[in-house]
Amino acid sequence: MDSIIEFITDYGVFALRVAAALLTVLTVVKCFYSMRIQKRGKKPLISLHNTITDETVPVYYWENSLGRSRGSDIYIADSTVSRDHAVLLRRNEGWFISDTGSKAGVFVNNKRCQGRTQIFLNDVITLGATQFEVKKGESSHQSVSEKDTAPHKKAMRPFVLLLLMLFSLLMFFTQAAFASDGFMPEAFVVYGAFSAVVISVFAFTRGFLKRASFELETLGLLFSGMGVSLLIRQNLRQAYVQLICVVLGVILFLVIIRLLEYPDKLLKMRMYAMGAAVVLLAINLVFGTVRSGAQNWIQIGSITVQPSELVKVIFIFVSAATLDVLQTNRNLTEFIVFSAICIGALFIMSDFGTALIFFATFLIISIIRSGDYKTVILALVAAFFGAMIILCFKPYIAQRFAAWGNVWQNYDDAAYQQARVLTYSASGGLFGVGVGNGFLKYIFASESDLVFGLLCEESGLIVAVTVALSLAALVFYTREITTLSRSSFYSISACCAAGLLIIQASLNVFGATDILPLTGVTLPFISLGGSSMISCWGLLAFIKAADERTYKKLSRKHIVQVAES
Amino acid sequence: MKRTRRRSYSVFIFALLFIIGMFVFIFRWFSDGRSWANMPYNGHYAATGIADGGTITDCYGELLAYSSDGERVYNGREDVRKATLHMVGDTSTNISTSIQSIYRSSISGYNILFGASSFGKLLSNTNMQLTIDSAACATAYNALSGRNGAVVVYNYKTGELLCSVSTPTYDPASPPEISSDDTSYDGVYLDKTLSGLYPPGSTFKIVTLCAALENIPDVEDMTFYCNGSTDIDGHKVTCMDSHGELTLKEAFSHSCNIAFAELSCKLGKETLEKYADSLGITTSYKVNGNPTAKGNFDLDKAIKAEVAWAGIGQYTDEVCPMNMAILSAGVARGGSTIIPHTVKNTSLIDLSAVMSSKSLIKPSTAAKIKDMMRSTVSDYYGDWSFPSLTVCAKTGTAETGNNDEAHGWITGFTLDDDCPLAFACVVENGGLGFYSAGNVVSQTLETIAENMRNGN
């Protein structure tokens, strides 16, 4: 009789694992599918009629550069026009033109404009010898077929995504409840609490903010929920702490999106943000405590915070700017100095993993902002010498390199953790041994640095790879929406945020699995760590903000009205 | 915005590198996952060990190890248990090269798709059949009668390992507490057939003979004169006997040191080293995934007399018994050898590793060596020592460098079509090779032959 019950539980629990894997894949695929097909088609917002050549130029973006340089959004073949002459921008209040340091100046209805000047339909803009008349988008001679403009397939309804996600998570939490060392009803309590959070976020976003989409939130909550479920059998208290951090993260997510609505105002805050980051790092340097080799923690009462995680969000924020600001101020010096301070401080704390993340993100930011490959090459050379110096002064880093690629020769000393990750990830098979049934959880840092192994072991290869690949897919999605963003501020910050997340994920996943040396960073959304969880949601906010649909969509009629008034 | 879009391709680099890395991981997971899961610390198997694992049987279906009521049970005969310890392994996986260590996860029900989960166990075949003849292993173990050593016999046509015994050994049914200063158990956890290294003594003359046949013109017409010792640059090289005038064939079958010292000096360092390498003395073969010990044949600093000693298997020469058996199989097969395997064809192993042959010697040379090894038994020792088999062999009596008795060696093969066996055996401090190792091998071969011919 006992064996029959055991048999049924074995198969039942196994079915849960298969269901968890399939539902996770389904949810993730549906999220990305939905994001893809809801993309706006390429349709001109307004158009510029060149009165001299009688050509009509469509204007596609929220921010458009005008000039003689080939890379301009609106290319003007006129030798009296500067290479980067002006920027034409759309804001909620209407359309504006901004002179970005041109020689000949910008004239609106024959009046030279200073700074941003609002323009209306039928206004005449003069740049050097070229004259444009502002027209409606429809008046473009280029016919735009209906197929390109409207999403022709129906997107997944946000509510369906929400249900799919909650159902996937139910599979994970049920596994945790029925793990092999006895039934644990608390797992369902945690699930209930988590679902309450998810439903509140959904109701708030859809009901109150009336936001059109919920895909990014679905992904973030799905992964955060998985992370929480992995903690239940390890340390129930930490599962609750992690849950609270998810709430804090989502709050930060909503706040940042709200703050980012008006990037022009926000840009003035850059100096304060940098100042705040430097102060945070300084506090860390003075009062920080050392944990496993790195001094990157501050203890306040019973709460420990990792300031460097929050600095990541600031780092992304200060990296970006609107197009007119970018064109008038090309100088990267301020940003390079700030980056150097951040990376330097992390070095002093011996938090080399995070320093590496900052450095790689710095490279992305430099390229996207300036297209300046010289700076990047210089930075790489500097980094190479920096790395040599570290290896000379911090021999334990060199030891990690020694263990790298030689796991099986050192599986009981230098490569102890990596060997366990590989062994247990293989022990999980495709569907895992079940949440809470793993053995990697007894290894130090299994829930943070080694969490990819834990995910492989307990949830199986399919879930782990799905999570990892969806972080990569996020990068592709983010880049895809960049030109549709309401400002290059969003495009740049979103790309950099996605870049930062994937770099961090690379260091975590490949460090644990011996493809790269182990550096000890967290896996976004999954790893245990309050500061890390909050900062991941903060970074996700930048990607969300880059999606044109995030902010209340203005009807075309409204835009035309504003332009006509 | 266009510019930003173009430059934002730089983020792709990181995303693409990530995806490539992910595929590297997935590839390694599928190809190496089984060996990752097989580590001794794996908690999924450490809790119960292999105590509820599958059965291990020998080639005739004799149970060597199985599980019953959560306990691992071994063969009913103590001598079989002791003889097969290094092949089968014990419950706590002390013998790292044994089947229960290297196939631990498979025996415990590991399945690449389902991992260590209990569902995988239901689907996997956890039973293994080995190629060994456990009765022959027991014969070899008993013939060693308490002496330390190693015995390897395998079928040189199929590559199936039939007998592999390493002593000292212990009973896996009641493993002893071994204190670190107890010398009687020295090397007990090592399978000496794979990891043991011994001076080869005169068995090395096969290598020197091979080099001489291919490098010294008309060597077969040469005659040698032995009066028990010779002088090379003021250093004495001695022989066991005073053989008088000898042909090459006689020199080989009587194992004359003086003749082979002369040949070694003629061949020189480089040629001898080249042949030691090409005949696999210094190679590490993979037998069932376990590497065999690389032998030693290094004449860099040797003076002329030492080159002479090296050519007759002394000086610093060392060789692994498995490599010696593989070399004999090469001679038996006419030049191309086969690497032995120990698991019968089941779904548990990789078929590509099973049939692995490797060319060692030119066929014409191999035929000549075969002829001389045959003459060693037929003309020198006498066929009466192997009643039912036609054996070609070379013995060796390897000085150990101290005052202990020399190690006795024999290696060779049978010519019988129904019993194609290659073998190597060392008896530590056993004295004259033929009387120590030769005796062990003779008894073992007879048991194997009897079982093969009767199909047990």
Asked if the C-beta of A479 comes within 8 angstroms of chain B's C-beta atoms, the answer is yes
- Exposed, middle or buried: residue A219 (CB in 10 Å: 0-12, 13-18, 19+)? buried
The DSSP bridge partners found for residue B167 are B149
**Encoded tokens for B377:** 């038994």
Residues of chain A found within 8 Å of residue B44, distances taken between Cβ atoms: 427, 433, 439
pLDDT tens, residue by residue, A23-42 = 999 999 999 888 877 666 67
Alpha carbon of B423: minimum distance to chain A alpha carbons (Å): 33
**Encoded tokens for B447:** 């048991």
Contacts of A268 (CB under 8 A, 6+ apart): none
Rounded to 5 degrees, what are φ and ψ at A426? -75, -30
SS3 label, residue A6: helix
Asked if pLDDT for residue B238 goes beyond 60, the answer is yes
* A428 contacts B115? CB cut-off 8 A: yes
> CA quadruple A498, A325, A315, A201: dihedral positive or negative?
negative
What is each CA distance from A69 to A53, A191, B226, in whole angstroms?
19, 56, 97
> B4: nearest CA in chain A?
A368
> CA quadruple A361, A365, A371, A375: dihedral positive or negative?
negative
Mean pLDDT over B299-311 rounds to 90
Taking the C-alpha atoms of residue B194 and residue B98, their distance in angstroms, rounded to an integer, is: 11
Asked if the C-beta of B15 comes within 8 angstroms of chain A's C-beta atoms, the answer is yes
- Exposed, middle or buried: residue B152 (CB in 10 Å: 0-12, 13-18, 19+)? buried
Asked if the C-beta of B69 comes within 8 angstroms of chain A's C-beta atoms, the answer is no
Count other Cβ atoms within 10 Å, centred on residue B113. 16
Residues of chain A found within 8 Å of residue B117, distances taken between Cβ atoms: 14, 17, 428-429, 431-434, 437
Asked if pLDDT for residue B139 goes beyond 80, the answer is yes
Residues of chain A found within 8 Å of residue B289, distances taken between Cβ atoms: none
Taking the C-alpha atoms of residue B298 and residue B285, their distance in angstroms, rounded to an integer, is: 19
Residue percentage of chain B with pLDDT more than 70: 95
**B5 with A483: CB under 8 angstroms?**
yes
Asked if the C-beta of B36 comes within 8 angstroms of chain A's C-beta atoms, the answer is yes
pLDDT tens, residue by residue, B185-219 = 888 899 999 999 999 999 999 999 999 999 998 88
- DSSP label at A40? P
The confidence score (pLDDT) of residue B352 equals 47
Residues of chain A found within 8 Å of residue B43, distances taken between Cβ atoms: 424, 439, 442
Residues of chain B found within 8 Å of residue A412, distances taken between Cβ atoms: 41
Residues of chain B found within 8 Å of residue A503, distances taken between Cβ atoms: 14
Residue percentage of chain A with pLDDT more than 70: 90
Asked if the C-beta of A63 comes within 8 angstroms of chain B's C-beta atoms, the answer is yes
Residues of chain B found within 8 Å of residue A63, distances taken between Cβ atoms: 1
* B3 contacts A479? CB cut-off 8 A: no
Asked if the C-beta of B2 comes within 8 angstroms of chain A's C-beta atoms, the answer is yes
Residues of chain A found within 8 Å of residue B26, distances taken between Cβ atoms: 461, 465
The confidence score (pLDDT) of residue A71 equals 82
Residues of chain B found within 8 Å of residue A441, distances taken between Cβ atoms: none
Asked if pLDDT for residue B349 goes beyond 70, the answer is no
Higher pLDDT, A339 or A293: A339
The DSSP line for A241-309 is: HHHHHHHHHHHHHHHHHHHTT-HHHHGGGHHHHHHHHHHHHHHHHHH-EEETTEEEEEEETTEEE-HHH
| Side chain identity, residue B456 | N
Asked if the C-beta of A57 comes within 8 angstroms of chain B's C-beta atoms, the answer is no
Asked if the C-beta of A490 comes within 8 angstroms of chain B's C-beta atoms, the answer is no
Residues of chain A found within 8 Å of residue B42, distances taken between Cβ atoms: 423-424, 427, 439
* B12 contacts A439? CB cut-off 8 A: no
Asked if the C-beta of A499 comes within 8 angstroms of chain B's C-beta atoms, the answer is yes
Taking the C-alpha atoms of residue A43 and residue A142, their distance in angstroms, rounded to an integer, is: 10
Mean pLDDT over B65-80 rounds to 88
Asked if the C-beta of B120 comes within 8 angstroms of chain A's C-beta atoms, the answer is yes
Asked if pLDDT for residue B341 goes beyond 70, the answer is yes
SS3 label, residue A18: helix
Taking the C-alpha atoms of residue B123 and residue B112, their distance in angstroms, rounded to an integer, is: 11
Higher pLDDT, B233 or A148: B233
In the structure, what pLDDT confidence band is assigned to residue B140 with cuts at 50, 70 and 90? very high
Alpha carbon of A157: minimum distance to chain B alpha carbons (Å): 28
Helix (H) or strand (E) holding A558: helix A556-564
* B12 contacts A515? CB cut-off 8 A: no
B117, B122, B124: best to mutate for the A interface, most A CBs within 10 A: B117
In the structure, what pLDDT confidence band is assigned to residue B407 with cuts at 50, 70 and 90? very high
What is each CA distance from A216 to A34, A220, A250, A470, A543, in whole angstroms?
10, 6, 12, 11, 8
The DSSP bridge partners found for residue B317 are none
Helix, strand, coil percentages in chain B from 3-state DSSP, rounded to 5: 45, 20, 40
Asked if pLDDT for residue A111 goes beyond 90, the answer is no
> Strands B128-129 and B56-57, how do they pair?
parallel
The confidence score (pLDDT) of residue B344 equals 81
The confidence score (pLDDT) of residue A561 equals 53
pLDDT tens, residue by residue, A175-214 = 999 888 788 899 999 999 999 999 999 999 888 888 878 8
* A368 contacts B41? CB cut-off 8 A: no
The confidence score (pLDDT) of residue B199 equals 94
pLDDT tens, residue by residue, B146-172 = 999 999 999 999 889 999 999 999 999
CB pairs under 8 A between A and B: 170
Q: Using only C-alpha atoms, what is the Rg of chain A?
A: 26
**Encoded tokens for B413:** 């093969």
Asked if the C-beta of A415 comes within 8 angstroms of chain B's C-beta atoms, the answer is no
Give the mean pLDDT of chain A.
85
Alpha carbon of B48: minimum distance to chain A alpha carbons (Å): 14
Q: Name the least confident of A45-49, A162-166, A483-487, A544-548.
A: A483-487
Asked if the C-beta of B37 comes within 8 angstroms of chain A's C-beta atoms, the answer is yes
**Encoded tokens for B296:** 């030693």
In the structure, what pLDDT confidence band is assigned to residue A153 with cuts at 50, 70 and 90? low
Contacts of A465 (CB under 8 A, 6+ apart): B22, B26
Residue percentage of chain A with pLDDT more than 90: 35
Asked if the C-beta of A83 comes within 8 angstroms of chain B's C-beta atoms, the answer is no
- For A475, the closest of B4, B11, B115 (CB atoms) is B11
- For A479, the closest of B2, B8, B21 (CB atoms) is B8
**Encoded tokens for A343:** 């990376």
Give the mean pLDDT of chain B.
88
**B23 with A468: CB under 8 angstroms?**
no
> B109: nearest CA in chain A?
A427
**A168 with A27: CB under 8 angstroms?**
yes
Rounded to 5 degrees, what are φ and ψ at A14? -65, -40
CA dihedral A259, A260, A264, A269 (to 10 degrees): 60
Higher pLDDT, A303 or A150: A303
- For B5, the closest of A439, A483, A496 (CB atoms) is A483
* B1 contacts A63? CB cut-off 8 A: yes
* B10 contacts A363? CB cut-off 8 A: yes
Asked if the C-beta of B384 comes within 8 angstroms of chain A's C-beta atoms, the answer is no
Rounded to 5 degrees, what are φ and ψ at B397? -130, 100
> CA quadruple A139, A145, A148, A151: dihedral positive or negative?
positive
Asked if the C-beta of A426 comes within 8 angstroms of chain B's C-beta atoms, the answer is yes
Q: Name the least confident of A36-45, A371-380, A461-470, B233-242.
A: A36-45
Which residues numbered 349-378 in A keep a CB inside 8 Å of some CB on B? 360, 363-364, 367-369, 371
* B36 contacts A425? CB cut-off 8 A: yes
Helix (H) or strand (E) holding B157: none
> B40: nearest CA in chain A?
A423
Q: What region does A469 belong to: left with phi over 0, alpha with psi -120 to 50, or beta? A: alpha
Which residues numbered 137-196 in A keep a CB inside 8 Å of some CB on B? none
A423, A479, A485: best to mutate for the B interface, most B CBs within 10 A: A423
pLDDT tens, residue by residue, A38-58 = 666 677 888 888 888 888 888
What is each CA distance from A548 to A151, A162, A491, B188, in whole angstroms?
14, 21, 10, 72
A6, A427, A523: best to mutate for the B interface, most B CBs within 10 A: A427
Asked if the C-beta of B42 comes within 8 angstroms of chain A's C-beta atoms, the answer is yes
